Amino acid sequence: MAANGTGLPMARKPLAKIVTDDKQGNGMCHDDSAKGVKAQTIDELHFLQKKRSAPTTPLEGNQGAFASLPDDERRRQQLQSISASLASLTRGTGPKVVRGDPAAKSSQAVEHVAHRHHHHVGAPAISVSDDSSLKFTHVLYNLSPAELYEQAVKYEKGSFITSSGALATLSGAKTGRSPRDKRVVMDDTTQNELWWGRGSPNIEMDEHTFLVNRERAVDYLNSLDKVFVNDQFLNWDPQNRIKVRIVSARAYHSLFMHNMCIRPTDEELENFGTPDFTIYNAGQFPCNRYTHYMTSSTSIDLNLARKEMVILGTQYAGEMKKGLFSVMHYLMPKRQILSLHSGCNMGIDGDVALFFGLSGTGKTTLSTDHNRYLIGDDEHCWSDYGVSNIEGGCYAKCIDLSREKEPDIWNAIKFGTVLENVVFDEHIREVEYGDKSVTENTRAAYPIEYIPNAKLPCIGPHPKNVILLACDAFGVLPPVSKLNLAQTMYHFISGYTALVAGTEDGIKEPTATFSACFGAAFIMLHPTKYAAMLAEKMQKHGATGWLVNTGWSGGSYGSGNRIKLAYTRKIIDAIHSGSLLNATYEKIDVFGLEIPTEIEGVPSEILRPENTWGDKKAYKNTLLKLGCLFKNNFETFTNYKIGKDTKLTQEILAAGPNF
Ligand SMILES: Nc1ncnc2c1ncn2[C@@H]1O[C@H](COP(=O)(O)OP(=O)(O)O)[C@@H](O)[C@H]1O
Ligand SMILES: C=C(OP(=O)(O)O)C(=O)O
Ligand SMILES: [Ca+2]
Ligand SMILES: [Mn+2]
């Protein structure tokens, strides 16, 4: 080979030119198996890839706030509404907001608007004195799950796509709610209306401090390149639907709320107008410990008069869903509607069951039943017309989740689902549900229609069965007992469960938790208000109460075992079918509960807890110990009247443990 100093063979003759326009048809260098693209440049090609979404369907007729407006005017008003939401209360102006991702070049040209008090949009520019009003805040408005996935994966550390298509993400330092940091503004109205003081979840704060925290959150959000805005609904009952707006900094939060709230149709979104309630989620940013009332860097602040909630210092997404639930616990009873911390499902014959219970007792697991229609797993309303779900999605615990035991939840963990704080294989991205490295409280949030037999719309007739779930780690409550109305009320007000810490070594003793109405962390009024409404509704519609222990059997935590989910499901089946109503019952000591002697598919000996304990003396002592805990807890309620007459109150007081 001739050396020419270049390392390449020396060309004797110029190379033949490659013919691209092959008129001779010799087939050389030509692939005609597919037509070429219509684009002339890469940019054009990328432009072709995205078909423009129908620009929010044009309206026929003129229902709704913006109905008669042309498209661009309506979009301008929507932006103006978002700018107003983000307005600083001291500077009096909202930021210049622009739709779209700041990273997308094309969005720079789209409409933008700034909100000013006392000024018309489009009025001559006024001079600005602070830098924040010179910048644009990009608004990512009701993005689709696919768009939110891209945002999360691109910009949020710890966001990954799992092998089943779910979006795995981390909630940061907080992996559960922070009830001791939840504050409510006390003003002349709320001072009289709400439940304050011992046992109440409502920790007082004043209006001024709320505004300080609100400003802190708003300034933080406005300092970002972009914020996510979700406009959605709560409550499937159309008469009592609430419009909510969630402003957040993370795609994770936006996708979570997309899944958990009710998703508006394009048409409903066009007519959305002003929200009834707004959440400012600045969870990545702490509150200021020098601010009055602040006891940590976390504060979740609710202002009912302003219809606003501010979140600082926690990214745990459940804070938003449960925060809105508190709002419903205030608004609904005002309309004679009972708000319930319960799951709800319906049989093919229209029989509805409610499942009350504290966290981890089985609301989500047991309401998700392949043989029944799921109305919802966690938050409902009971009005004069029946039940309605407040939410548009479910939030399932997924620690130790298995395909065999909970197939419907397993299958719901797919594209669109948010998976919080789970551990997965770094390469295959298969989730290891048994792994508690990040937290025991791993969660999946998915739209309710991911459950194949979801009842859409999520409403149903009056409940026939009211099931109170307790996960009794003492192992002394029977797997199931039939309750009379007074007993149902006693156990509803007590709101008992006893879980074990699980992750910590050396924990031998279960600790009892009493949480009024099975959700004291979320109620706003005194527990007896909700209890009276429940009693009235159960009486009026002839519902039967049941107490189901989904916890330990054969001994306390440490010596006994958790009741098999398969048995609990058989018990629940017998309640639904009506067969348990007509079973033979016997009474047990101390709690005076009526227990059935037989249930199809359940070994009879486990129905009476005493039978399952080897050490009968230990059983009796544990039973008495739990009885004492119930008595002590109920003391705070003995001076309250429940319902219109003292008769029921007396009966309820007598319905507790007796020894
Ligand atoms: N016998 C049982 N009944 C109900 N749940 C059980 C039982 N045994 C184990 N579990 C587990 O307990 C957890 C119940 O949690 P979940 O249904 O999410 O509670 P909630 O919705 O009330 O917070 C699930 O992880 C479920 O698999
Ligand atoms: C989201 C929660 O609900 P649950 O555990 O009842 O499903 C919670 O309590 O934070
Ligand atoms: Ca749940
Ligand atoms: Mn719940």
Best residue among 359, 409, 442, 517 to mutate for probing ligand 2, ranked by most atoms within 8 Å of CB: 359
Q: What is the 3-state secondary structure (H, E, C) of 218-267?
A: HHHHHHCCEEEEEEEEECCCHHHCEEEEEEECCHHHHHHHHHHCECCCHH
Q: Determine whether 254 is exposed, middle or buried from the number of CB atoms within 10 Å of its CB (0-12, 13-18, 19+).
A: buried
For residue 430, which phi and psi values (nearest 5 degrees)?
-85, 135
Question: Quick one: pLDDT at residue 160?
Answer: 98
Closest residue by Cα to atom 4, ligand 1, is 362
**What is the CA angle 437-439-443, rounded to 5?**
120
- Cα separation of 144 and 565, whole Å? 36
Helix (H) / strand (E) element for 311: namely strand 308-312
**Residue showing tokens 């999605």:** 393
Q: Which atom of ligand 1 is nearest to the CA of 398?
A: 25
How far, CA to CA in Å, does 112 sit from each of 77, 93, 204? 10, 15, 39
For residue 106, which phi and psi values (nearest 5 degrees)?
-65, -25
- Cα separation of 260 and 321, whole Å? 7
Cα(363) to ligand 4 centroid in Å equals: 7
Q: HSE (CB half, 13 Å, CA atoms) of 376? A: 28
**Residue showing tokens 């230990």:** 618
Question: Quick one: pLDDT at residue 358?
Answer: 95
Is 318 near ligand 2, meaning CB less than 6 Å away?
A: yes
Tokens standing for 270? 């066009």
Give the residues of the chain that fall short of pLDDT 70. 1-34, 54-68, 105-112, 116-129, 501-508
- Cα separation of 93 and 83, whole Å? 8
Closest ligand by atom to 363 CA: 1
Is 395 near ligand 2, meaning CB less than 6 Å away?
A: yes
DSSP summary character for residue 639? T
CB 322 within 8 A of CB 521: yes
**Residue showing tokens 């009892």:** 512
Question: Quick one: pLDDT at residue 23?
Answer: 47
Cα(465) to ligand 2 centroid in Å equals: 22
Q: Which atom of ligand 2 is nearest to the CA of 396?
A: 7
Residue 511: how many other CB atoms lie within 10 Å: 13
- Cα separation of 181 and 173, whole Å? 15
Question: Quick one: pLDDT at residue 372?
Answer: 98
- Mapped onto helix, strand or coil, the DSSP state of residue 530 is helix
End-to-end CA distance of the chain: 107
Q: Which residues are catalytic?
A: 177, 322, 341, 359, 363-364, 378, 443
Best residue among 365, 440, 471 to mutate for probing ligand 1, ranked by most atoms within 8 Å of CB: 365
**What is the CA angle 460-463-464, rounded to 5?**
130
Helix (H) / strand (E) element for 611: namely helix 609-612
Question: Quick one: pLDDT at residue 134?
Answer: 75
Per-residue pLDDT of 379-437, as tens digits, reads 999 999 999 999 999 999 999 999 999 999 999 999 999 999 999 999 999 999 999 99
**Residue showing tokens 């009912």:** 304
Indicate the length of the chain as a whole number: 659
- Cα separation of 354 and 343, whole Å? 6
CA 485 to chain centre: 31
Per-residue pLDDT of 103-114, as tens digits, reads 876 544 445 677
- Cα separation of 99 and 84, whole Å? 15
Q: Which domains does the chain carry?
A: 71-122+132-141 (no CATH), 346-362+462-654 (3.90.228.20)
- Quickly list DSSP for 533-567: HHHHHHHHHTPEEEEEE-SEESSSTTTSEEPPHHH
Cα(481) to ligand 4 centroid in Å equals: 23
Best residue among 178, 322, 367, 421 to mutate for probing ligand 2, ranked by most atoms within 8 Å of CB: 322
Closest residue by Cα to atom 9, ligand 2, is 359
Task: Please name the residues in contact with 617: beta carbons below 8 A apart, sequence gap of 6 or more.
Answer: none
Q: HSE (CB half, 13 Å, CA atoms) of 328? A: 33
Task: Please name the residues in contact with 237: beta carbons below 8 A apart, sequence gap of 6 or more.
Answer: 337, 381, 383, 385, 388, 459
Helix (H) / strand (E) element for 112: namely strand 112-116
Q: HSE (CB half, 13 Å, CA atoms) of 446? A: 28
CB 223 within 8 A of CB 132: yes
Is 518 near ligand 2, meaning CB less than 6 Å away?
A: no
Q: Tell me, what amino acid is at 363?
A: K
Q: What is the 3-state secondary structure (H, E, C) of 29-85?
A: CCCCCCCCCCCCCHHHHHHHHCCCCCCCCCCCCCCCCCCCCCHHHHHHHHHHHHHHH
CB 399 within 8 A of CB 433: yes
Cα(303) to ligand 2 centroid in Å equals: 22
- Cα separation of 211 and 254, whole Å? 24
Cα(186) to ligand 3 centroid in Å equals: 30
Q: Tell me, what amino acid is at 198?
A: R
